[in-house]
A and B are shown apart, each in its own frame.
Chain A
Amino acid sequence: MGMDKLLVIGAALFCCGLYTILTRRNAVAVLMGVELILNAANVNFVAFSHYVSRVIGGQIFAVFVIVLAAAEAAVALAIFLRLYATTGTVEVDTADELKG
């Protein structure tokens, strides 16, 4: 498989992620979109690391992205859980206590 194909996969994942973020109103779904974007970046990193750089930097980067994505997801889910406990919903736009 050539680098081009991997990059297309990465770009497609990125677009899917962005589309999810922009269209879904459920906070958990938005988070899933973010995960797609992060994995798109990971695909890019690993592909570039193999075909362009030939040093391992990109793969290490991908590992860090995975770890941070997990940390971020854990924190985000904890926050959504708390929000659900106080408001009974995790819809992004029904939360309108703050505006103006």
Chain B
Amino acid sequence: MLTEFATVLVFIVLGAVTVALMLGVSRLLQPRDQTAVKLSTYECGEVPFGSSWVQFNIRFYVIALIFIVFDVEVALLYPWAVIFQRLGLLAFVEALVFIVILMAGLAYVWKEGDLDWVRAMQENPAGKGGK
């Protein structure tokens, strides 16, 4: 057991040395003439203005979050669908139960008005900019 830990130790030391070496070499070689142009976001292109941390309309996030959850549930249904015919009635009922539970979630989201883009837009006016 101890010899195995020695392997790990050697691995850690080698890893640390490699990282230090690479960072050191790049520090030695890199040119260091940092003019204002060099430091700008796009050296030869658009001059960026404003903060990139603009607050998007919160509706985008909510819709995206709801989408993620319902989207990945498909991952569970695919394996079921592939061999669905061999599994018989019980598996069909089980998948139905699963979907019904998901529908409860959908009904909740609907009732809360989170799918309702237009009405929600009036409640939360879009894009007030970063804080």
Contact = CB atoms under 8 A, between A and B. Distances in A.
A81 B79 CA distance: 34
Interface in A68-95: 70-71, 73-74, 77-78, 81, 88
Interface residues of A, number: 13
A70 B69 contact: yes
Nearest to A69: B72
B38 interface: no
A66 B68 contact: no
Contacts of A74: 65, 68-69
A49 B65 CA distance: 31
Interface of B is mostly: helix
Nearest to A73: B68
Contacts, number: 28
Contacts of B68: 70, 73-74
B65 A78 contact: yes
A4 to B, nearest CB: 15
A88 B129 CA distance: 12
Interface string B51-71: 000000010010001001101
B32 interface: no
Interface of A is mostly: helix
B67 to A, nearest CB: 9
A88 B114 CA distance: 23
B75 A66 contact: yes
Interface of A: 60, 63-64, 66-67, 70-71, 73-74, 77-78, 81, 88
8 contacts: A63-B79, A64-B76, A67-B73, A70-B72, A71-B69, A71-B72, A73-B68, A74-B69
For the complex of A and B, the 3 pairs showing the least CB-CB separation, nearest first, are: A70-B72, A88-B131, A74-B65
Interface of B: 58, 61, 65, 68-69, 71-73, 75-76, 79, 131
Given A66-B72, A73-B68, A81-B58, 20 more contacts: A60-B79, A63-B75, A63-B79, A64-B76, A66-B75, A67-B72, A67-B73, A67-B76, A70-B68, A70-B69, A70-B71, A70-B72, A71-B72, A74-B69, A77-B61, A77-B65, A78-B61, A78-B65, A81-B61, A88-B131
